[in-house]
Amino acid sequence: MLCGYVRGRCGVEGDGPFPGIIDLYGSVGGLVEHRASLLANHGFLVLALGYFGFDDLPKDFINLDLEYFEEAVNFLRQQPKVISPGVGALGISKGGDLALSMATFVPHVTAVVSIGGCNANTLEKAEGYFLIVVGEDDKNWRTPLYAQQAVERLEENGRENYELISYPEAGHLLEPSYFPFCSASFHRLVGQPVAWGGKMKPHALAQIDLWPKIQTFLRKHLENHSKL
């Protein structure tokens, strides 16, 4: 069972087709829908995809099956209002890791946004485009280092298929514009509160700056790729 659902045409004029996006969140688990809904209002057809802690899915993300995410990509590509041939993946935290893995190992993932993700993937094998987003005051893990390693790995293999955006005083949880600042919260997997980092005003301004850049990046590489 594919535990996600398509959010599209919400506030969108016309019959499409629209860029298709898979939206992934991190260790919060469950099915998180607010970002997918906002993207749908901006002309994207979005699959908000749960991958643990929801319905009959695994209770944690220790052992995840990549075939599940490939099934999601194929499902999205089959929707008649999705621009073909490629789709995008947008992920934050663990979702950012998974988005990078999808671009590397799953066909037809042609544009990836990784927010605060890790770099433990063979990125040099991926044919798509990457937007790597860093909050330099991330207290959850060493996001700036992981981004640097990812860029170095791509450049060592002659790749220029990436953009890097780094915000000096932003934390781990970079959400869409005007979402409340969250410096710490309960982490369901470690069973205690964790610090996400960031300073309130710079983090909020980073979210305002980032949100349209994400949309521009996805449109650029999904709409233009379909015309090639």
Query: Which domains, from first to last, does the chain contain?
Result: 4-227 (3.40.50.1820)
What's the chain's Rg over C-alpha atoms? Answer: 16
CA distances, 136 to each of 47, 116, 133 (Å): 29, 9, 10
Cβ atoms of residues 195 and 183 within 8 Å: yes
Q: Which amino acid is at 174?
A: L
Cβ atoms of residues 218 and 21 within 8 Å: yes
Provide the residue-wise pLDDT of the chain in tens; the chain has 228 residues. 344 444 333 334 567 899 999 999 987 777 889 999 999 999 999 999 988 878 877 777 777 888 999 999 999 999 999 998 999 999 999 899 999 999 999 999 999 999 999 877 668 777 899 999 999 999 988 999 999 998 998 898 888 899 999 999 999 999 999 999 999 988 877 788 899 999 999 999 999 999 999 999 999 999 876 555
Could you check whether the bond before residue 17 is cis, i.e. omega within 30 degrees of 0?
Answer: yes
Cite the active site residues.
93, 138, 172
Q: Which tokens is 94 given?
A: 């663990």
The reported pTM is 0.90
